[in-house]
Amino acid sequence: METLVNNISIEKSSSSKIGSVDFDNLPFGSIYTDHMLVCEYVDGDWERPKIKPYANLSLDPASKIFHYGQSIFEGMKAYKDEDGQAWLFRPEDNHARLNISASRMAMPELPKEYFMEGLTALLQLEKDWIPTTEGSSLYIRPFMFASGVGFHASPADRYTFLICLAPSGPYFGGKVKVLIEEKFARAANGGVGYAKAGGNYAAQFYPTKLAVEKGYQQVIWTDDNTHEFIEEAGAMNIFVRINDTLLTAPTNDRILDGITRKSILELAKAEGIQTEVRKVKVSEVVDAAQNGSLKELFGAGTAAVVSPIAGFGYQGKDYELPELENSFAKRLKKRITDIQYNKVEDPFGWRFKV
Amino acid sequence: METLVNNISIEKSSSSKIGSVDFDNLPFGSIYTDHMLVCEYVDGDWERPKIKPYANLSLDPASKIFHYGQSIFEGMKAYKDEDGQAWLFRPEDNHARLNISASRMAMPELPKEYFMEGLTALLQLEKDWIPTTEGSSLYIRPFMFASGVGFHASPADRYTFLICLAPSGPYFGGKVKVLIEEKFARAANGGVGYAKAGGNYAAQFYPTKLAVEKGYQQVIWTDDNTHEFIEEAGAMNIFVRINDTLLTAPTNDRILDGITRKSILELAKAEGIQTEVRKVKVSEVVDAAQNGSLKELFGAGTAAVVSPIAGFGYQGKDYELPELENSFAKRLKKRITDIQYNKVEDPFGWRFKV
Ligand SMILES: Cc1ncc(COP(=O)(O)O)c(C=O)c1O
Ligand SMILES: Cc1ncc(COP(=O)(O)O)c(C=O)c1O
């Protein structure tokens, strides 16, 4: 059966998997809802998006996605409030960033109305999949890849954009210990680190595996040239609290311009917390850890929201962070999730009604 | 119908497309043969490779290849001699490099016998597809990607390895002009540039597009930190001839260890050409172009073999290279292709009989 909503054709699945899902014990990103949005770029133009039953994709083995990593993605969440109303958080910023990534990867930009209307129509259809358990949400994965074929190392002539949904629990369980990287790097100067390009993530797996083998959960990325400056925490932006000042690195072409990062910065200012956006030296963090002025380290990103770091390793030594009464991480996490779940006023206009 | 060769099951296609192919006007890498090799990594182990009719792949949209760029590939060629015998060139080195790439991308290594036996069985089956026109060959594309699913940024638990074949003409047509890159970079220190990882190639598309818009065909990559050193030419290694010395950059973690590059180095030595493997400054190349000591620039790689560069742009100025009588590029290209096509003795033991 096919219906039309917002000019988007909807082919409904004949049955739902929702009854088989344990919403009280959700993993992160590995259960998918009944439908997905699909939009094809053919002959220099995007076709209208369609909503279809979630199903396998059929692709020529010569599709460039398999060979040249021409792919980008976004990560978002839908939240349900106590009245059962669904909300998004700054979704237009995800659309804008998708197109920044697209441009760097020589892929076509996606029209805003296809993104916003497609997303809204899909979420309205899958509303029952948004979890309501504390700490859970519906993770949203918009992504685009080269479906055009050829073994010539050049951009494809066809692309596919999809949105899939995964009801998800927390990204990390337990305390997070991190390793400050001294050898590997995630991004080059003049490279694609500021794009949410698929290949950036696979490149992190091996160094992260080595860190995990040493007992850490994540890598703190430093600049590839000197390894003297702190840049990101795994796939999150990083915040450093020294005494009562909150520091984070300025974005550049190696660092993803995180929506959580910029929201946290605004929230901190509104809370009267002193913030500084400037390059942060590893040595400064180590010194602060040694003299007791390092109060907190935390990652910030959509998946993990705010992820407090319990300790870090650097040059073979381990440093522990104190457990604080008045943690900025806790306070800011509560501020941002209260807005996301529509528990408080939203003076910034960040919430978006589905 | 299924048969077994070298323990590899072969399912033959019911008909062949070969009759529809114009072997005198072959494009590069966009016509595929009737069969492909497929090998699946499941539950921590590789299943035996299978040969099947070339057909679309069916993949869950949550497969990590679409999201995290976990993919690697190789590029090889099969050559046919005048007696109709098929040959490969140093195929074991491609296998070794595939596994170096796999390790860096946190992917499972492929057993050598699966690679070699699978490749041989596939080529024996597709022997008639190896072109015999001058400058043509059967391009071979082994590749591996993450077929396991999940929106967690971590290595997949399933992988697929394939080999596809494409009868191909020359990679470049006409003269190649290049632009020495001053802003963008293809690889980070401590990154994945030395791996044949998919994402490295997509990252080059946009800077290359900008160069093409300015009238160049390829970008000469420089180090991402200073842009003072010449590293690669598009997806080729680069050679610089100053007076009668042939220079090329040493491999490092930003540069692919090309099989053509190392073969050219050995052939040059055997020809009595003086070679130097050392860092090559952009300023040195520009100075040499100005004072007339820059005789040749050429790229070296499987796809384009040896690709003479007619001129380059740098800091808004264009430099032309002379047309030489006794070009090293021409001489070395002839030496290597004579070995590849079994026209001369192979004192190095590089040729491999299919
Ligand atoms: C490398 C990297 N840094 C930071 C972030 C955080 O960005 P956002 O807050 O928009 O989710 C992400 C994405 O989640 C990321 O992939
Ligand atoms: C980045 C890069 N450099 C150099 C080469 C040349 O390597 P090879 O001679 O093994 O084909 C390739 C592959 O073709 C490549 O992708």
Go through A160-189 and write b for each residue having 16 or more CB atoms within 10 A of its CB, e for each that does not: bbbbbbbbbbbbbeeebbbbbbeebbbbbb
Q: Which domains does chain B have, with CATH numbers?
A: 2-168 (3.30.470.10), 176-340 (3.20.10.10)
Beta bridge partners, A143, equal: A73, A162
Q: Is the pLDDT of residue B137 over 90?
A: yes
- Answer whether residue B173 shows pLDDT above 80: no
Instruction: Write out chain B residues lying below 8 Å of A153, CB-based.
Output: 201, 204, 234-235
Residues of A in contact with B60 (CB under 8 A): 56-57
A53: closest chain B residue by CA: B61
A155 at interface of B, judged by CB pairs closer than 8 A: yes
A44 touches chain B (CB under 8 A): no
Residues B264, B329 contacting (CB under 8 angstroms): no
- Contact list, B61 vs chain A (CB under 8 Å): 32, 36, 54, 56-57, 162, 164
Testing ligand 2's pocket by substitution, the residue of B260, B264, B306 carrying the most ligand atoms inside 8 A of its CB is: B260
Residue of B nearest to A144 (CA): B66
Write the DSSP assignment of A169-219 as a string of letters: --S--S-EEEEE-SS--S--TTSSTTS-BHHHHHHHHHHHHHHHHTT-SEE
Residues in A closer than 8 angstroms to B69, CB to CB, are 69, 71, 197-203
Number of Cβ pairs < 8 A linking chain A and chain B? 246
Q: Which residues contact A329 (CB under 8 A, 6 or more apart)?
A: A239, A296, A298, A306, A308
> Is a pLDDT exceeding 90 seen at residue A4?
no
Q: What is the DSSP letter of A315?
A: T
Say if residues A38 and A162 touch (Cβ distance below 8 Å): yes
Between the CA of B298 and the centroid of ligand 2 the distance, in Å, is: 13
Which residue pairs, CB below 8 angstroms and at least 24 apart, start in B265-270? Answer: B266/B348, B267/B332, B267/B335, B267/B336, B268/B328, B268/B332, B270/B347
The separation between CA B108 and the C-alpha centre of its own chain, rounded to angstroms, equals 21
SS3 content of chain B, % helix, strand, coil (to 5): 25, 35, 40
Share of chain A above pLDDT 70, in %: 98
| Residue A47 CB partners (closer than 8 Å, separation 6+) | A39, A40, A41
How far is the C-alpha of B212 from the C-alpha of B182, rounded, in Å?
A: 15
Q: Do A202 and B204 touch (CB under 8 A)?
A: no
Tell me the average pLDDT across B321-344.
96
- How far apart are the CA of B54 and the centre of ligand 1, in A? 38
**Using a 6 Å cutoff on CB, does residue B259 contact ligand 2?**
yes
Taking residues A291-301, what's their average pLDDT? 97
A58 touches chain B (CB under 8 A): yes
d(C-alpha A239, C-alpha A233), whole Å:
9
pLDDT confidence band for B190 (50 / 70 / 90): very high
In this prediction the ipTM stands at 0.97
Q: What region, left, alpha or beta, does residue B244 occupy, with left being phi > 0 and alpha being psi -120 to 50 degrees?
A: alpha
Q: Which tokens is B132 given?
A: 């015999």
How does residue B4 score in pLDDT terms, banded at 50, 70 and 90?
low
Write the pLDDT tens digit of every residue in B97-132.
Answer: 999 999 999 999 999 999 999 999 999 999 999 999
pLDDT of residue A134: 84
Q: How far, in Å, CA of A221 to CA of A210, rounded?
A: 14
Least confident of A230-234, B132-136, B193-197: B132-136
Interface test with B, best of A37, A67, A98, A105 (most B CBs within 10 A): A67
Which residues, 6+ apart, have CB-to-CB distance to A2 below 8 Å?
A: A9, A10, A11
- Of the candidates A15, A9, A8, the one whose C-alpha atom is nearest the C-alpha of residue A114 is A8
Q: Can you read off the two tokens belonging to residue B44?
A: 């921590």
- A149-202 residue pLDDT tens: 999 999 999 999 999 999 999 887 778 999 999 999 999 999 999 999 999 999
